[in-house]
Amino acid sequence: MPVPAEFDRLRVVLVSTRNPLNIGAAARAMSNFGFSRLRLVNPYSVAYREARSAVGASSVLASAEQFKDLAEAVADCTLVVGTTAVRHRELQHPLQSLPKGAPLLRNRLASSPVALLFGSEKVGLSNRDLSFCHWVMRIPTRERNISMNLGQAVSVCLYELARNPKTPRQSEKPQLAPAGEIDRITMILLEVLRTSGYLTPSRTAPAEEKVRRLVRRLNLSAHDSQLWLGILRQIAWKIRLGEELPE
Amino acid sequence: MPVPAEFDRLRVVLVSTRNPLNIGAAARAMSNFGFSRLRLVNPYSVAYREARSAVGASSVLASAEQFKDLAEAVADCTLVVGTTAVRHRELQHPLQSLPKGAPLLRNRLASSPVALLFGSEKVGLSNRDLSFCHWVMRIPTRERNISMNLGQAVSVCLYELARNPKTPRQSEKPQLAPAGEIDRITMILLEVLRTSGYLTPSRTAPAEEKVRRLVRRLNLSAHDSQLWLGILRQIAWKIRLGEELPE
């Protein structure tokens, strides 16, 4: 089975992984199912070193990239999807089961980079991590034993992605803006919301996360994101101007 | 998701497993997907003891059964299926891919016990082991990296078995905002764009239409449109305030 070209567009992103065995297991699962782009956000440095020096460490591990912050790790992706085993988390996100979500992910991979996020062994993805996601994908485990081993979770997700050999149809939707662009919009909007008094000047994580999710739900095209960026910059400039006038 | 009654009829059979971590991982995957009958054939006794005494060892492990010979371990089953990652083994057996084989297995589970066999880490199932099988199920890995981690292989197989394509659940799309609401947003945005200098103060139809289309392309939900309306009102108020300050 040759590896479909679009598999190279998937970024498997491990956030704050603690156990080197799990990093190795994730890399092996990637290799099994034909994926190659591994990104590590803020891993325990010991775990990362041990995983890379392990006997039989794969080429996937050798070419893994490391990031300090999740925002950087997903900046080139037009779709960012978090994974969870939890069903009724107070998610402010659309939730798709793995069998339903995987085809959506594959459709997007046909045209642009996609990030699939896995949280740490103990706590999964944080609310901040999730605020960078467009939607969340749930592995359908049973109620009593929802917590999956990280390597197994990666394996099951990639199996499902590779499961359907059909080439996805090209959707004719406009090209979506990459996450880095959406993040710039979020930053300027946050500034405007603070200077305008919609948010309090003191930065609070829940408020920022709410705005981050709000902007991601817009699903802006690359073209429109440019327009909105221009609009927001002008608004920010105007408000700053008003602020600076002598009383 | 309640566990279907027939899941209790599946026997997951690990043959000659060497690594206690893999026994534990298999048990955890079973627990995740709602299976409970684990059978171990001729495991390294050390591995078995360690797995059972591991912290957090599950009830699956506690109730695992041990057998000297594969024949005994599958004696009560009407269907015995071996697993392999290999494609062109000189198999004298019918070969099914996992997505095709799993429904066959589930059909049989509806009426009688079925055994699913996993071989040892190094060599998989022997020809003797395979001779007890009715057919063989292949996990579709890529040519270059066919060998899967045992715990991951169990996980992927059980996921596929538990994956229920029959209940197509409607993903609930959020209710979209009515046009009147979208229009209010457009009006306030237009005002902000004029007072901020993004648009010229003189109203031109093409510019207004462009903004109107831009807002409609957002496909705002009823909920989000309220949020954006609040945001824009605050921004408009702030900009007006700046304008009204004495020069």
Q: Which of B134, B136, B140, B135 is nearest to B153 (CA)?
A: B140
Category of A219 on φ-ψ map: left (φ > 0), alpha (ψ -120 to 50) or beta: left
Residues of A with CB below 8 A from B141's CB?
A: 32-33
| pLDDT for res B93 | 75
Average confidence score pLDDT of chain A = 87
pLDDT higher than threshold 60 for residue A41: yes
Average confidence score pLDDT of chain B = 85
Between A143-147, B87-91, B148-152, the lowest mean confidence (pLDDT) is in B87-91
Taking the C-alpha atoms of residue B122 and residue B16, their distance in angstroms, rounded to an integer, is: 10
Stretch B115-134: mean pLDDT, rounded?
Answer: 89
Stretch B118-136: mean pLDDT, rounded?
Answer: 88
Place of tokens 């009830």: B59
Q: What percent of chain A has pLDDT over 70?
A: 90
pLDDT higher than threshold 60 for residue A167: no
What does chain B look like in DSSP terms, one character per residue?
-PPPGGGGGEEEEEES---HHHHHHHHHHHHHHT--EEEEES--HHHHHHHHHSTT--HHHHT-EEESSHHHHTTT-SEEEEEES-SS---SS-EEEHHHHHHHHHHHHTTS-EEEEE-BTTTBS-HHHHTT-SEEEE----GGG-PPPHHHHHHHHHHHHH--SS--PPP-PPPBPPHHHHHHHHHHHHHHHHHTTSS-SS--HHHHHHHHHHHHTT--BHHHHHHHHHHHHHHHHHHHHHHHS--
Contact criterion met (CB < 8 Å) for B141 and A32:
yes
Under 8 Å CB-to-CB from A68, ≥6 apart: which residues? Answer: A41, A42
Taking the C-alpha atoms of residue A103 and residue A123, their distance in angstroms, rounded to an integer, is: 27
| pLDDT for res A173 | 62
Taking the C-alpha atoms of residue B142 and residue B212, their distance in angstroms, rounded to an integer, is: 49
Q: Does A191 touch chain B (CB under 8 A)?
A: no
| pLDDT for res A165 | 59
Contact criterion met (CB < 8 Å) for B28 and A152:
yes
| pLDDT for res B244 | 74
Q: Which residue of A has its CA nearest to B4?
A: A142
Which residues 4-43 of A are in CB contact (within 8 Å) with B? 21, 25, 28-29, 31-34
Minimal C-alpha gap between A134 and chain B (Å): 14
| pLDDT for res A103 | 93
- Report helix angle B222-244 to A205-216, nearest 10: 110
Q: Does B231 touch chain A (CB under 8 A)?
A: yes
Phi, psi of A6 (to 5 degrees): -70, -15
Contact criterion met (CB < 8 Å) for A196 and B235:
yes
> Does this complex have an ipTM over 0.90?
no
- Report helix angle A222-244 to B222-244, nearest 10: 30
Give the confidence band of B203 by pLDDT, cuts at 50, 70, 90.
confident
| Residues facing B115 on adjacent strands | B11, B80
Q: Does A217 touch chain B (CB under 8 A)?
A: yes
pLDDT higher than threshold 80 for residue B46: no
Contact criterion met (CB < 8 Å) for A245 and B245:
yes
3-state secondary structure (DSSP) of residue A157: helix
| Residues facing B65 on adjacent strands | B39
Contact criterion met (CB < 8 Å) for B145 and A224:
no
Between A228-237, B6-15, B173-182, the lowest mean confidence (pLDDT) is in B173-182
Residues of A with CB below 8 A from B28's CB?
A: 145, 148-149, 152
Q: pTM score, two decimals?
A: 0.79
Taking the C-alpha atoms of residue A183 and residue A189, their distance in angstroms, rounded to an integer, is: 10
What does A134-153 look like in DSSP terms, one character per residue?
SEEEE----GGG-PPPHHHH
Q: Which of A182, A178, A181 is nearest to A213 (CA)?
A: A182
Taking the C-alpha atoms of residue A75 and residue A63, their distance in angstroms, rounded to an integer, is: 18
Stretch B77-106: mean pLDDT, rounded?
Answer: 83
B145 vs B21, more confident: B21
For A78-96, how does the pLDDT look when each residue is reduced to its tens digit (9 = 90+)? 999 999 877 655 667 788 9
Give the confidence band of B245 by pLDDT, cuts at 50, 70, 90.
low
Taking the C-alpha atoms of residue B137 and residue B135, their distance in angstroms, rounded to an integer, is: 7
Neighbouring C-beta atoms of residue B103, cutoff 10 Å: 14
